[in-house]
Amino acid sequence: MSYHTRSRNRTRQRTQRTNQTRDNQQRGQTSTPNRTAGSASSLPIVEAPVQIVDNTVRTTSTSTRSITPIGDRKKIVGKKKKKKRSVRNIFQTPQQPIPPAPPEPELIAVNKTLYDGANVRLFYGIENTPINEFISTVLKDVPLFKIDEIDGQGNVLNTYQLHDKKMGGKKRKKKKKKFSIVKGDTKDSYKTKTPEQRQSLTQITDENRYNISVDGVPGQAYPITFMGLQNPNEISDRYYDEPPIELIPASLPNAYQNSANDGVELLKDGRRCGNCIFYDSEVGNCSKWNALVRLNYWCAAWQTMAPIIAEPNQFTQNIEQDGEIYDYFLENVKDPTTQEPNLNNFLSPLNPLFTTYGAYVYGDYLRRVVDSGDAFDFDGAPINLLFTTQEGFLNAIDFINNSNLNQFEDPPEEYDSIQQALCTYTLTKKSTSTLPSNYPQVITINLHGKFYGEPINILSQLDLMNAKIAYNPQFTVDSHRILKDNRFDTLEENGVLHIDIIKPSIRERVLKFLLDNSREYRLDGSSSYSFIQWVADRSAFTESLQALYQLLLTVPSISSENQELLDAIELSLGEQLLDDPSNTLVPLTTQVVDAEVPE
């Protein structure tokens, strides 16, 4: 029986008890005999209000019997004394039957896979099992080194270590690192000087997670089976209730819901994923729960975001501005029939955003039109806009909300003009529009509001080099501005994706880039190694990440043509990871690091 069902039953029982109490009170009014004069009970009874407490809603039920004010009481004489009736009997509530307990769920065989090194696992639903029995049955075919019981931050609570062979200091240090999952855990968790310390873990329960340290063959899988239940935090059973109807990632908490839902007090000030500090507007990923979220949803982990003034970094020096590249789009993006530059024509319906509010088009749309050579050929990708000031961003929101993009119908989306990471608008061309017939019927624009400042510094914060291109077609009345990374043309011509900055959403970014393009792309060597290292450091936390890591060690390249790899990346999403993982030694024989950028 679910939590909500049990709650409704308890509420129904409380309501029944309340009604029964009122009936008893009414019967007590008609059956109480008169008191005789001269007795201690001759005064009318003054009853205090009786409060019947409901755990969810407090209601006060007051007796309807006539009450004589204390100041008007008079001694009543001349009546025969009758036996006093106990008032307490009036308020006795019949005991309600206790509902039967829900049946215990039936245990099933749950399969998991372990690999050489650290393996963080939760044995959900398992009955408390003595450690020796667990090792002899569940781990009977696993070359086990030790088991650590850990808390939510990866700290070791208890340990069970098998007797290991004597080994030298360097070899022992390397083995400790092999089983490490968070930085610094080898300093305290491996102090196993006494037999008691080596055997402090006495049983396996379903309450905590365990780091199963396997001293086996690298790359070999060790399947295990235990009797338990499917973990709802690993396999989602919740769906979105609005299109597109799809599964909600399992790592998201139960509090995750549509911010438009009624009765959520915390949402009165407009809190939602789109203005949360954990939201990555480039892919819609939440870094708190490691899951893709929807812009207008919310959970209790929400934290306010503040505007960030972008500062220069080591990648700023690679970005060129105007100068020799001033005519870049005039030369490379043209109408296929007339061979006239057509980028400014395409962007002209959005000109107020450029001239008045300082917006720049950047990233994916520009990259695609450079590839196709036609501003109208961009695979329907959203048009991303950055802003140099927060004021420009907020005023642009008001401008669109007030139906000022007059070539388009009023967009169905409307946003408060408050600090937020992203506002997405769907713009449909009016039937009375003066736009050319080949102009798309619908375009999508994304207003990004996380970073402000100089455009060159904002581009420097982007994780993918392939997105570092920006354009303002109406910087002044008769001039435009262009910014472009000096590596852009070489990498794009060769279909190479390069990662400058590894962020928590790196899997989602790489997957989206490789899936959304009509041509083949692959990561270059340094980016591939960085990606593999990021996965390796977190691979111990989930089986899907471990499977992805093992696959990455065998593929010749990380490419959009490798469907098996793309599927493995997608399967690894939506599971919560620990912060600050330890560094994992990636084998130097990894093939993928040899896939360098062609000269």
What is the pLDDT at residue 580? 79
Alpha carbon distance 125, 127 (integer Å): 6
Rounded to an integer, the average pLDDT of 416-432 is 94
Decide if pLDDT at 406 tops 70.
yes
- Determine, yes or no, domain membership for 274: no
Residue 559 near residue 274 (C-beta atoms within 8 A): no
- pLDDT given for residue 592 in this prediction: 56
Q: What is the pLDDT at residue 48?
A: 42
CATH number at residue 471: 3.30.460.10
- Per DSSP, 416 falls in state -
Could you give the number of structural domains in the chain?
4
**Which residue matches tokens 């399992």?**
250
326 and 433 share one domain: yes
Q: How confident is the model at residue 4 (pLDDT cuts 50, 70, 90)?
A: very low
| 376 shares its domain with 397 | yes
What's the confidence (pLDDT) of residue 361? 98
- 402 burial level (CB within 10 Å; 0-12, 13-18, 19+): exposed
The whole-number average pLDDT for the span 152-163 is 86
Residues contacting residue 99 through CB under 8 Å, at least 6 positions apart: 9, 13
Beta bridge partners of 427: 443
Give the other-Cβ count within 10 Å of 93's Cβ.
12
Dihedral sign for Cα 427, 430, 435, 441, please. Answer: positive
Q: What is the mean pLDDT of residues 166-175?
A: 50
Q: Is residue 487 a part of any domain in this protein?
A: yes
Measure the CA–CA gap between 516 and 79, rounded to whole angstroms: 96
**Same structural domain, 535 and 476:** no
- The per-residue pLDDT for 132 is 94
Give the whole-angstrom CA distance, residue 559 versus residue 510: 10
Alpha carbon distance, N-terminus to C-terminus of the chain: 64
- Do 117 and 44 have their domain in common? no
Q: Tell me which of 228, 260, 289 is where a domain ends.
A: 228
31 and 176 in a common domain: no
The torsion angles phi and psi of 15, rounded to 5 degrees, stand at -65, -40
Residues 7 and 61 in one domain: yes
Residue pLDDT, tens place only, 225-245: 999 998 887 778 889 988 899
pLDDT digits (tens, 9 = 90+) for 184-202: 665 554 444 566 667 789 9
Looking at the fold, whether 63 and 194 belong to one and the same domain comes out as: no
Please report whether residue 296 resides in a domain: no
- pLDDT (tens digit, 9 = 90+) per residue, 494-526? 999 999 999 999 999 999 999 999 899 999 999
SS (H, E, C) 43-65: CCCCCCCEEECCCCCCEEECCCC
Residue 291 falls within a domain, yes or no?
no
Residue 298 in any domain: the answer is no
Q: What is the model's pLDDT at position 579?
A: 75
The average confidence (pLDDT) of the chain is: 82
**What does the pLDDT average to over 161-175?**
57
Please state the pTM of the whole predicted model. 0.77
Each residue's pLDDT tens digit, 255-275:
899 888 876 655 556 788 999
* pLDDT for 152: 83
Decide if 393 is inside a domain.
yes
Mean pLDDT of all residues in 318-340: 96
Give the tokens for residue 554: 């065998």
pLDDT at 216: 94
- Tens of pLDDT, residue by residue over 525-535, are 999 999 999 99
**Confidence at residue 589, expressed as pLDDT on a 0 to 100 scale:** 61
Last residue in a domain, options 173, 194, 228: 228
Q: What percent of the chain has pLDDT over 90?
A: 60
Rounded to whole angstroms, the Cα distance separating 224 from 134 reads 11
Q: Is 243 a domain residue?
A: no
Q: Do 479 and 504 fall within a single domain?
A: no
Q: Of 441, 473, 493, which residue sits at a domain end?
A: 493
pLDDT in tens, 72-92: 444 444 444 455 454 445 555
Look at residue 206 and tell me whether its pLDDT is greater than 80.
Answer: yes
Task: Please check whether residue 488 lies inside any domain of the structure.
Answer: yes
Higher pLDDT, 594 or 228: 228
Mean pLDDT within 444-471: 97
Residue with tokens 């009023």: 410
**566 touches 460 (CB < 8 A):** no
pLDDT of residue 591: 58
Instruction: Based on the fold, state whether residues 116 and 207 are members of the same structural domain.
Output: yes
Asked whether residue 483 falls in the same domain as residue 512, the answer is no
Does residue 35 register a pLDDT over 70? no
Residues 397 and 442 in one domain: yes
Q: Which residues contact 183 (CB under 8 A, 6 or more apart)?
A: 580, 581, 582, 583
Least confident of 214-218, 355-359, 385-389, 572-576: 572-576
Token digits of residue 263: 């009765």
State the pLDDT confidence band at 440, using cuts at 50, 70 and 90.
very high
Mean pLDDT, rounded, for 571-591: 80
- Separation between Cα atoms, residue 451 and residue 462, nearest integer Å: 10
Tokens 């852009």 appear where? Answer: 488
At residue 158, does pLDDT exceed 80? yes
pLDDT of 480: 96
Range(s) of the domain holding residue 395: 316-493
Asked if 389 and 479 sit in the same domain, the reply is yes
